[in-house]
Structure 1
Amino acid sequence: MVRVLGPAPALGGRSAARWCTYRCVTVAVCLGNLLVVLLVLRSLYNAPGYFASSPKRVTMKYSAEQIKMVEESIRIRSAAVPVELVESVKKLQKLFAREYKRRKELPLELKQKVSYEILQRLRDLGENSNTTEQRGALDSWRVEKLKYIKGASAQNLSNSGLSSEESRMLKHALEFNWRMLIEDIGLWIPISVWHTEHNDKPENEPEEEEIIAGPPLPHECNAQLHTDYGGAAVRWGLTHHKESAADCCQACIDQARRAQPGALKCNIWVYCPSEYGCYSPDKYEHKHQECWLKQAYHPKFNFKDRYSESYRDSHPSAPVVVPWMSGVITV
């Protein structure tokens, strides 16, 4: 017996329909999101300040009057340039460059030989020589040295241990760079200072007595104006100031009384009464009210009343009158 079967039912029909619905919804959501993104990009693109590709060049338009003013300003600045001064500076720079090159050409050993010879010539003058004599000795040495080098070169003789190249360089330095050579070897001679004193006081008029600020000095101070005594320093005056010369003398007396056995005892005081400070040949700046306490078995003064003319020639900054006052105490 044969059984006839009817048509088979479709498998997964409901699932296929459900899958189709999900796909359509997903596509629709994606399209919606894409549309929203496109709208946002469009709004940002149209907004000012966003997605600017490059700044736009602004073309300035000047009027004829403004252009004329700019041209006038350029002309004024060009005319104000100190052309002659600039050219002079350029020439000086070239000159200095040549002199510096010539200065470097002279070797150190040769400069030392020159300095030794010059120092020996100055020593031959003695310690009491003034600046005029020293300058004369330098000029005579230069003339003699040039004459010797030229004579030796003409006869092809040796120049006291100098090679031909060193002789050439020294000859050039003595002829054209003499001042520069003097500076290089460290020699400096001050310009002569002439002190002219004008004395228009009547002959019979008495000398005015100098007034020293402060209380009167006791008799044992033996104060002497315009006097600078030497001696071993018991108290350094740069850091020891007193209101008056009497106080300085009293400080010397007190130190001598309190000094321990074997220690230096003050018997010389030196005071600076000048408000402008006091001159001294050392490297320090001596100010008003400095009080130096010193000791010497046989006191001798360094300077008295006035500095000598020869001393002022070699020390141009020295005044005419000794500014210090001092004394040797008697206890």
Structure 2
Amino acid sequence: MVRGLAPATALRGRAAAAARWCTCRRVAVAVCLGNLAAALLVARALYAPGTFASAPKRGEARYSKEQVRWVEESIRIRRAAEPVELIEAVKKLRKAFAREEKRRKELPLELKQKVSREILQRLRDLGENRNTTEQREAVESWRVEKLKYIRSSSTQNLSNFGLSSEESRMLKQALDFNWRMLLEDIGLWIPPTVYHIEHDDKPENEQEEQEIVPGPPLPPECNAELHTDYGGTAVRWGLTHHKESAADCCQACIDQAKRAKPGALKCNIWVYCPSEYGCYSPDKYEHKHQECWLKQADHPKLNFKDRYSEPYRDSHPTAPVVVPWMSGVISA
């Protein structure tokens, strides 16, 4: 009897365990379904159409009724200030240009070349020393003559001239209505004549404005001369001798002459480069701003004064118009 009860007891235990397991699974499934339903409800509440309308976004500006009224008023004023007539006129011009562009037909290349050759020949016959006004008049006379010929010629004459009826019609329209466009197509442009009239309204006795030299004023013994380059034997090379101002350069010349030993060259000429862009010289060196040359000459001679001559500039293409140096001969 004991042996018969053991299997029955085991079966009842297994059944109870299975019942407990099923109950736990149902509870877990129920909990999951509940969580899923809650998540769906939350998502629906978050993404509902009216949600964002009622709650402003983070950082979104909120305007008062007074501010909204100001914005609407500014929009109304801006619209009232729009140049309506000008806008309408521009629209009409655009339509007219569009119609003109549709009517315009491109001339054949051979015909363009023929027109350009005839115009160039007319300009050659005019001569090289003619001004732009005479050149424009010559081109205009060619246009008038060509139009007159096309209008008065018969179909037979035009064919002998090398033009078909369609080409003659296109050329007539180009010469009559699209003349400027035709000139642009063949690449012909004659600049307008510009007349320069100088008006000298300066009083007769008014003195010329003096050029300002940077730095302290130069003493009278420096005898400073603007746009001047004196020659002489170099006592101190300016390539390695720079001074802050022309006055300092002149003073350096005076000091050198005082400290010079017996028999040594004494400075009596100073040459300074005041230009921030450097100073031109015909030698091979690059002369920079604030170069100070100390020189000596018993009989000082000018290298350059005021302006470089045209023959000199022709032989020295890099030379500027005005002499950039300033210099002086120290008075005894």
TM-score, with structure 2 as normaliser: 0.53
Aligned to 2:76: 75
Query: In the aligned structure 1, how far is the partner of 2:200 from the partner of 2:46?
Result: 92
Query: In the aligned structure 1, how far is the partner of 2:150 from the partner of 2:305?
Result: 56
DSSP 3-state at the match of 1:215? strand
Query: In the aligned structure 1, how far is the partner of 2:199 from the partner of 2:47?
Result: 89
Aligned to 2:153: 152
> Aligned-pair distance for 1:110?
1.3
Moved more, 179-188 or 166-175: 179-188
Q: 1:152 to 1:104 in 2, by over 3 A?
A: same
Aligned to 2:269: none
> Aligned-pair distance for 1:130?
2.0
Structural mapping, 1:1-331, within 5 Å: 12-38=7-33, 40-41=35-36, 44=39, 52-56=46-50, 58=53, 72-101=73-102, 104-153=105-154, 157-158=158-159, 160-196=161-197, 213-216=227-230, 243-244=279-280, 247-248=281-282, 273=307, 293=316
Number of equivalences? 226
Query: In the aligned structure 1, how far is the partner of 2:104 from the partner of 2:181?
Result: 7
CA contact (8 A) 1:242 1:291 kept: no
Q: Write the deviation string for residues 94-136 of structure 1: whole angstroms up to 9, x where unpaired.
A: 3333444455522222111100000001111122222232122
Counterpart amino acid of residue 48 in structure 2? S
> Aligned-pair distance for 1:32?
3.1
Q: 1:217 to 1:26 in 2, by over 3 A?
A: same
Q: 1:88 to 1:35 in 2, by over 3 A?
A: same
> Aligned-pair distance for 1:79?
1.8
Q: Which runs of 5+ in 1 are unaligned?
A: 1-5, 202-210, 219-240, 252-269, 280-289, 295-322, 327-331
Of structures 1 and 2, the one with the larger relative CO (CA 8 A, separation 6+) is 1
Counterpart amino acid of residue 130 in structure 2? S
Query: In the aligned structure 1, how far is the partner of 2:186 from the partner of 2:305?
Result: 39
CA-based RMSD: 4.7
DSSP 3-state at the match of 1:28? helix
> Aligned-pair distance for 1:140?
1.4
Query: In the aligned structure 2, how far is the partner of 1:271 from the partner of 1:171?
Result: 62
Query: In the aligned structure 2, how far is the partner of 1:136 from the partner of 1:96?
Result: 27
Counterpart amino acid of residue 26 in structure 2? L
Q: 1:70 to 1:188 in 2, by over 3 A?
A: closer
CA contact (8 A) 2:183 2:189 kept: yes
Query: In the aligned structure 2, how far is the partner of 1:113 from the partner of 1:136?
Result: 20
